[in-house]
Chain A
């Protein structure tokens, strides 16, 4: 029997990896991947709690979440393509038009 804390720690680690990538990576695609990683860490939590509570609602919710992640990824990549067309780059460093 694996204690719940281990699953949660795993999810936290995955989430932190995603977080680290989100904060440091320059390529838009990498950042999107990191976001996916974080989403999946959250899904993992959902499934773990659902499983340990004996209630399947959480797992259904994780399924929905995955579907929404797919939407998010699709839109995200589409936006990156638009940006690429405008700026010939997808490096987030150069996208700072919201600056002061």
Chain B
């Protein structure tokens, strides 16, 4: 449903655009600066030729390999990680629960 009372002047547009951008402009500029640095870095880096990669084209699935690795080479970090995860969860629950009174 169109309402004829609603109308925008150019100034309103500019103001609203300005109000939208004003708190964001610094973030935008910095983000773009960072992006440009990254893109330039990626684009101008001589990556190794693509012939050799990816090597396992036939077997696209790598779940098996990852599983093997986790339970062989990385079993200790894996266990430690489980403890970290558990304690983080306990900590989170403790913090989020707050006092019993509330």
Chain B stretch 20-45: residues in CB contact (< 8 A) with chain A: 23-24, 26-28, 30-32, 34-35, 38-39, 42-43, 45
Chain A residues within 8 Å of B47, by CB? 3-5
Q: Contact at B62–A56, with CB atoms within 8 Å?
A: yes
- Contact (Cβ within 8 A) B53 A81: no
CB-CB < 8 A to A59: which residues of B? 62, 66
Taking a contact as CB atoms under 8 Å apart, the answer to whether A23 and B38 are in contact is no
Contact of A75 among B30, B42, B56, B92 (CB under 8 A): B92
Partner of B84, one of A8, A15, A68: A68
A1 at the A/B interface (Cβ < 8 Å)? yes
The secondary-structure label for the interface of chain B is helix
A to B contact number (C-beta, < 8 Å): 108
- Per the bound structure, the CA–CA distance linking A17 and B32 in Å amounts to 10
B69 touches A56 (CB 8 A): yes
Interface string of B83-100 (1 = CB under 8 A from A): 011001101111110100
Give A56 to B61 CA distance when docked, in angstroms.
11
Taking CB atoms, residues of chain B closer than 8 Å to A78 are 91-96
How many Å from the CB of A10 to the closest CB on chain B?
A: 10
Known: A60-B66, A74-B88, A82-B98. A15 touches B54 (CB 8 A): no
Residues of A near B45 (CB, < 8 A) are: 5
State in angstroms the CA–CA spacing of A48 and B31 once bound together. Answer: 23
A74, B85: Cα distance in complex, Å: 10
Where the two chains meet, the residues of B that have a C-beta atom closer than 8 Å to any C-beta of A are 23-24, 26-28, 30-32, 34-35, 38-39, 42-43, 45, 47-48, 50, 52-56, 62, 65-66, 69-70, 73-74, 77-78, 81, 84-85, 88-89, 91-96, 98, 102
- Which A residues have a C-beta under 8 Å from some C-beta of B? 1, 3-5, 8-9, 12-13, 15-17, 19-20, 23-24, 51-54, 56-57, 59-60, 63-64, 67-68, 70-72, 74-75, 77-79, 81-82, 85
